[in-house]
Amino acid sequence: MIQKKICLLGASSVGKTSLVKQFVEGIFNEKYLTTIGVKVDKKLVEVNDQSVQLMLWDIEGNDQYNVFQERYLRGAAGYIIVVDHTRSSSLLEGIDIHTLARQVTSAPAILVINKSDLPKQWHWQDYELEQYKDILIINFQQVLKQVSK
C-alpha cells in the first residue's frame, strides 16, 4: 500500500488539530486545546481505485513559544498551510512558514483558510491578497472560492 506523509503547518490556534480530527474521526470539538509536539494520524483513502494511507502530521503551531522545525517536513509528500479566517495575522505567519518550508522541500503545498463559518473579521482587500497568489501551487483565489463554498 502506498503511504504519503502530509504535514499540517501554520500559526498556533488556527485549527490544524480540529481539521485532522474532523477528517480522520469525523468529530468536531469547539473547545481549543493547544497541541504540544507532534501527533501522527492515519487515514486510508481511495485514489484512482488505489488505496493510499495518509500519514497526517499534526504539528504544534508556530508562534513566539515554538519556532518552525523544518526536520518535521522530511519525506513529506505535501503540506498544508492552515490559516484562520478570523485573524489576518495568521495569513502573514502562514506565508512566513511557507517561505521557510520552501527552503527544505519542494513538495506541493496548499493553503487552507479555516473557520470560514465564523463572523468575518478579515478586513483585507482582494488587491492585498493578490500579491500572495503565485507563491502556492494552487492559485490563492481558487482556494478562496473553494473555501467560501
Interface residue with other proteins among 6, 7, 9, 12 (CB under 8 A) is: 12
Q: Residue 118 has which C-alpha cell?
A: 465564523
Locate the DSSP E strands across 48-93: 50-59, 78-84
Nearer to other proteins, 48 or 64 (CB): 64
How many residues at the interface with other proteins, by CB under 8 A? 29
Tally of CB atoms within 10 A around 66: 16
Q: What is the 3-state secondary structure (H, E, C) of 66-109?
A: ECCCHHHHCCCCEEEEEEECCCHHHHHHHHHHHHHHHCCCCCCE
Q: Which string of x and - marks every residue 94-113 that binds other proteins (by CB under 8 A)?
A: --------------------
Does 88 bind other proteins (CB under 8 A)? Our answer is: yes
Nearer to other proteins, 51 or 142 (CB): 51
Does 120 bind other proteins (CB under 8 A)? Our answer is: no
CA 132/CA 128 separation, integer angstroms: 8
Does 148 bind other proteins (CB under 8 A)? Our answer is: no
Sequence-distant (≥ 6) Cβ neighbours of residue 67 within 8 angstroms: none
Nearer to other proteins, 106 or 125 (CB): 125
Does 87 bind other proteins (CB under 8 A)? Our answer is: yes
Q: Interface residues with other proteins (CB under 8 A)?
A: 3, 5, 12-13, 32-34, 36-40, 55, 57, 61, 63-66, 69, 71, 74-75, 86-89, 121, 123
